Structure 1
Amino acid sequence: MHNLSVISLCDEEIIASIRQLVPQGFLEPQDPLLLKQLWLQTADLITAFQAAGRLQDNPFADAWQRRIHLYETEIRSQIAGETVLVTGGKGCVGSRLLGELYRLGASRIICIDQLGMLNEPGLDGIAYYTADVRDYALLEQIFASEKPAIVFHLAAQRDPGLAEVRIRETVTTNIFGTQNIIDLCERFGVRQCVFSSTGKAARYWTSEVYAASKKMAEWLFARAATKGKVTYSMVRFTHMLQNSLVCQQIDEKIKKNRAVNVHAPERYIVAQNVYEAVDLLLNSLVHCVSGRLRFAVARNLGWPVETLEVALYKILRSGKTLPIYFQGIPSGYEEPFFMGQVDWRAPSEINTLVNALESPGMSLDASGGMVFCELTDFSPLVLELHLTRLKKLADDRTVEASLLKSELSEAVRQVAASSFALTPPESLLRLLWWGCAPKRLASQGYAIAAHRGIVETIVPQLHARVDAEVVRCAGLEASEFAELLEILAKLPDIGANELRIEIKPPSLKTPPQAPLSTCRLE
């Protein structure tokens, strides 16, 4: 979820009243008088939203209808007569994918899921196995028996909130279960493997368990793509409407006639539908590149939707007099959006599923509906070192889950740092400015400390690499660079002073900025 600011003064007053009635962190209100007061405020908020032209249509209307071009002829030629294996095949995306693979002519389809396989539709050519991706021995038997040519790896622990509670399960499933699939693909001669990741992995660094585990999985696939014999590709999904945790929670509260909890105002999400998601997966079969991990995302994600608006719209449509309250932001959703995550040089092409270091290599498919990128380079040795540490902790049941989470966070930090060390310094300086410029922080309502994790990972990789030419190529004026150093100095232990020492004021008096082609760009 991202933070944007579109709330009016009137809305702010109503929201402040709701927060006063039920302070953040309080349990769901039950008192009839309090519920009545909350409903009056909620009704006023609905009226204010309607006056602003909101709540007239489903906030996700565009996302529900959106489609991308499916390269059906090319896909049919890839899967005709082949055995295709899908992990997580009973999930929202997986079940739709099974049907499409059947329609497109796969000769045999293998569904692996840890859920039971009772009462499955009797489609010829689809075999169901109950298996956990963490169970290497059982997976080995399935691969040996079925010998798939193509694998779609969708299985994961996908709930960010639950991931903070079931840390070991999330780490072992999303990281080491993924490594099992990669190892078996290589061992049994799989031709292609497609991985489903998340837009949350576009973050440079994260301490949230779900996002961090998926980011580690992306690095596993990137390493395998360069060293293995299998052709790997990847897609990044965002909020899936047919399986929306947000919408499910709101719908459940409305069904039970209970007050509807919203994390906070000004919390935004982008969404997509399952048909678009499955088409991305299938298209990845024909847009892959041997020896490199290319990933695909939908180009048009539409405008971010405020979760508060979703709640109010659903309450309004229900015809019920149900109030809202703000519960606060739970674990797994806490990290604020770092504005340096996206490339502000081309605002109209910003895609929140692609970070600013990945976007320079961006390309489009022939239809213009899909964006292709690659992960930035990183150190496989650093990745392997931290995978070994993480595996040791995950396998030791006496180790506290909090320690496992800390090691996961550190693993992501160190691999990210190895990537930053290989990134042109002007690129790092540019994204620091985008993310830490005082005006941008003020517009988000944050202090620099909110982004400590990412800032303290980037800054050391700029030591001894910044000079006047780098500042110029980053597109910063001398005054902006000074302003950046001043804001970074508010985190005294990150080493920003070393940047100040290395930049000599006289050298900043450079001629007007040269064309970008003369700068060292990524």
Structure 2
Amino acid sequence: MLSRAEIIEEILTLAPAGEFGADPEAVRARLWELTSTLISSYNNDEPITVDPMDIYRQRAVPLEEARLADFLRGRRVLVTGAAGAVGSEVVEALANRLPTGAILALDLKESPVPAGAEGRVIPVVCDIRDVEATGKVFAEFNPEIVYHLAAQREPGLAEFETAFTITTNISGTRNIVTLCEQFGVEIFVHASTGKAARYYTPDVYAGSKKVAEYMIAELAPAMTTKVGMVRFTHIAENSIVFDDFRRKVGNGVLNIHEPYRLMYVQSMVEAVALVLNTTLYVDDGEATLVTVGDLGWPLDILRLALHTIAISGQEVPLCFMGLPAGYEKHTFLGQLDWSAPWKTHPMLNALESEGAHLTDDEGMMISRPSRPAASVLAEVDRLCSDVEASDVEDRDTHKRRLAEFLQWGCKATFESSDAVQRMRMLMWGCDPEVLAREGATVGELGPVVPMLIDSLQGVQFGPEFATLNADRVSRTLRSLAEEPELKPMVDAINPAPNPVAATA
């Protein structure tokens, strides 16, 4: 009996990048044999017909219904993206469980009205990119609370509809934030993504969401409107991945990116509770960042793929097509704070973890988003103007401009953060022992590493440097200096003399 690793290796050899070669029927037949064996192997752990999403659908964040009822009673509430999966659930929860006043459900298409809420829920078709039309909606409805869920949210589609994604997720969001302040909205809650926690991200969807976070975080301190941001991860009841797998099964071949990939999943109940509960945790000043307190174990994407094949009853072979352009093969582990177990959270980066804390019921994690100290608003205007002025099909230009902005933002965020923390991040992600354990090389971690190293050039470290592990600092810097393109930057890092060895 072949091991799982041997089966996967043969699949990769038989159909590199998902291609079946010169004898596709023979390759397909062998791939199905291997897929069937892999299904049997996974079935020995747990019946493969058990939906691996079920455990996530059962989870919940407690909705603080009593406090919300007191706060929202009789209020005029506007929900953007109200025809979407989460938006429609937020509207339904507001209409059926909370004593709000009128609820305006805004979307590009007409939003569903929950049963029994006719007359109280008002659907409006409007494009948030059209600030004049959206401004008329605000003027007529005069909302007091705004939940902003309108977005292009499909990562695959975002890579194709680049102009729509950037203008909706960035320009449209800026329109909503600006109108909230103009019309005296009390609370604005923005739906974001856990992928925006990355210091730098190469994909259009997550990148556009990160720019929106930068923008909102900069605007918040000067606003009378109180601002909250919610980071979601993959939602079990609205699974783009599961839907994509079922479509591929229908086409006769299920190809996934790589065999050893995991993803975090949450339930729709958690998503709705996060959005609504955030209303109670915003305050004056900086934007409040909210996410699930405990996401639990991530989902094995390969098991989900094999489950999809097994329940179809069809002989559908599995293969691996490789990562899309721009995606890093390995996660930069300096993304997370590893200094203490309670600081390591997959939806917060290391710069956001220091002041993070759980709510009393431990359902939610509250923090502040990291952002550049330099102003982003002029850069956002230039990015959006360049995209709007270009041809809608000029995807390469849109992606290049977005990447330029994100690299600028990443560098500016690093440079405005604590230097000792940046050195910790470099050790957590680039210590040669860490890289060896992960089977990764520095080059596979993407541009975030040279940007982080660059930010440490010439830095004068303060007394806090003595809290770092001196041997680990030296080992990490020596290893990085072996990379020719990094050596000049590494040589320009001047660690404090004779640091006291301690646990980082």
What TM-score range do you get, normalising by the shorter chain?
Answer: over 0.9
Counterparts in 2 of 1:342 and 1:58: CA distance versus 1, 3 Å: same
Say if 2:480 and 2:490, in contact at 8 Å, map to a contact too.
Answer: no
Q: Give 1:28 deviation, angstroms.
A: 11
Q: Give 1:489 deviation, angstroms.
A: 2.1
Instruction: Report the Cα distance in structure 2 between the residues aligned to 1:132 and 1:390, rounded to whole angstroms.
Output: 20
Partner of residue 244, structure 2: 249
Instruction: Report the Cα distance in structure 2 between the residues aligned to 1:126 and 1:180, rounded to whole angstroms.
Output: 23
Instruction: Report the Cα distance in structure 1 between the residues aligned to 2:326 and 2:236, rounded to whole angstroms.
Output: 19
Show structure 1 runs of 5+ residues with no match: 1-7, 517-522
Q: Any idea what SS the aligned residue of 1:360 has?
A: coil
Q: Does 1:191 align with 2:180?
A: no
Instruction: Report the Cα distance in structure 2 between the residues aligned to 1:377 and 1:120, rounded to whole angstroms.
Output: 38
The CA RMSD over aligned residues, in Å, is: 2.6
Q: Deviations over 1:66-107 (max 9, x none)?
A: 011111111112211111001100111000000011121111
Q: Deviations over 1:183-228 (max 9, x none)?
A: 1101111110100000000001122211111011011111221011
Partner of residue 170, structure 1: 165
Aligned counterpart for 1:277 among listed residues 268, 271, 286: 271
Show structure 2 runs of 5+ residues with no match: none
| Structure 1 counterpart of 2:479, one-letter code | I
| Structure 2 counterpart of 1:323, one-letter code | P
Q: Deviations over 1:425-484 (max 9, x none)?
A: 1100001111112232233332101224111222222122255955432x2233x22221
Q: Does 1:299 align with 2:259?
A: no
Instruction: Report the Cα distance in structure 2 between the residues aligned to 1:338 and 1:243, rounded to whole angstroms.
Output: 28
Q: Deviations over 1:150-198 (max 9, x none)?
A: 0011011111122122211111111111000011101111110100000
Instruction: Report the Cα distance in structure 2 between the residues aligned to 1:91 and 1:392, rounded to whole angstroms.
Output: 27
Say if 1:466 and 1:499, in contact at 8 Å, map to a contact too.
Answer: no
1:393-408 equivalent positions in 2, closer than 5 A: 393-398=386-391, 400-408=394-402
Q: Any idea what SS the aligned residue of 2:42 has?
A: helix
Identical columns (%): 33
Partner of residue 313, structure 2: 319
Instruction: Report the Cα distance in structure 2 between the residues aligned to 1:183 and 1:215, rounded to whole angstroms.
Output: 18
Counterparts in 2 of 1:23 and 1:198: CA distance versus 1, 3 Å: same
* Deviation larger for 20-29 or 372-381: 20-29
Q: Give 1:418 deviation, angstroms.
A: 2.0
Partner of residue 128, structure 2: 133
Q: Does 1:60 align with 2:24?
A: no
Instruction: Report the Cα distance in structure 1 between the residues aligned to 2:462 and 2:285, rounded to whole angstroms.
Output: 37
Say if 2:101 and 2:120, in contact at 8 Å, map to a contact too.
Answer: yes
* Deviation larger for 160-169 or 94-103: 160-169
Partner of residue 379, structure 1: 373
Q: Does 1:390 align with 2:379?
A: no
Partner of residue 84, structure 1: 77
Instruction: Report the Cα distance in structure 2 between the residues aligned to 1:93 and 1:30, rounded to whole angstroms.
Output: 45
Instruction: Report the Cα distance in structure 2 between the residues aligned to 1:252 and 1:397, rounded to whole angstroms.
Output: 33
Q: Any idea what SS the aligned residue of 2:447 has?
A: helix
Counterparts in 2 of 1:35 and 1:89: CA distance versus 1, 3 Å: same
Instruction: Report the Cα distance in structure 1 between the residues aligned to 2:159 and 2:251, rounded to whole angstroms.
Output: 28
Instruction: Report the Cα distance in structure 2 between the residues aligned to 1:159 and 1:298, rounded to whole angstroms.
Output: 21
Say if 2:18 and 2:319, in contact at 8 Å, map to a contact too.
Answer: no
* Deviation larger for 89-98 or 349-358: 349-358
How many residue pairs end up in the alignment? Answer: 501
Say if 1:159 and 1:210, in contact at 8 Å, map to a contact too.
Answer: yes
Q: Does 1:10 align with 2:9?
A: no
Partner of residue 513, structure 1: 502
After TM superposition, the runs of 4+ consecutive aligned structure 1 residues lying more than 6 A away are 27-30
Q: Deviations over 1:273-332 (max 9, x none)?
A: 111100001100011111111111111211111111101122223333322111222247
Instruction: Report the Cα distance in structure 1 between the residues aligned to 2:326 and 2:139, rounded to whole angstroms.
Output: 38
Say if 1:186 and 1:228, in contact at 8 Å, map to a contact too.
Answer: yes
Instruction: Report the Cα distance in structure 2 between the residues aligned to 1:498 and 1:257, rounded to whole angstroms.
Output: 50
Q: Any idea what SS the aligned residue of 2:354 has?
A: helix
Q: Give 1:374 deviation, angstroms.
A: 0.3
Counterparts in 2 of 1:452 and 1:34: CA distance versus 1, 3 Å: closer
Counterparts in 2 of 1:302 and 1:387: CA distance versus 1, 3 Å: same
When normalised by structure 2's length, the TM-score is 0.93
Counterparts in 2 of 1:195 and 1:308: CA distance versus 1, 3 Å: same
Instruction: Report the Cα distance in structure 1 between the residues aligned to 2:207 and 2:493, rounded to whole angstroms.
Output: 34
Q: Does 1:147 align with 2:136?
A: no
* Deviation larger for 54-63 or 349-358: 54-63
Instruction: Report the Cα distance in structure 1 between the residues aligned to 2:191 and 2:111, rounded to whole angstroms.
Output: 22
Instruction: Report the Cα distance in structure 2 between the residues aligned to 1:174 and 1:251, rounded to whole angstroms.
Output: 28
Partner of residue 5, structure 1: none
Instruction: Report the Cα distance in structure 1 between the residues aligned to 2:483 and 2:47, rounded to whole angstroms.
Output: 40
| Structure 2 counterpart of 1:486, one-letter code | R
| Structure 2 counterpart of 1:483, one-letter code | R
When normalised by structure 1's length, the TM-score is 0.89
1:406-425 equivalent positions in 2, closer than 5 A: 406-425=400-419
Q: Deviations over 1:369-402 (max 9, x none)?
A: 1100101352242x12311321221221248432
Instruction: Report the Cα distance in structure 2 between the residues aligned to 1:134 and 1:108, rounded to whole angstroms.
Output: 24
Partner of residue 100, structure 1: 93
Q: Does 1:42 align with 2:31?
A: no
Counterparts in 2 of 1:22 and 1:220: CA distance versus 1, 3 Å: same
Instruction: Report the Cα distance in structure 1 between the residues aligned to 2:48 and 2:342, rounded to whole angstroms.
Output: 26
Instruction: Report the Cα distance in structure 1 between the residues aligned to 2:282 and 2:33, rounded to whole angstroms.
Output: 55
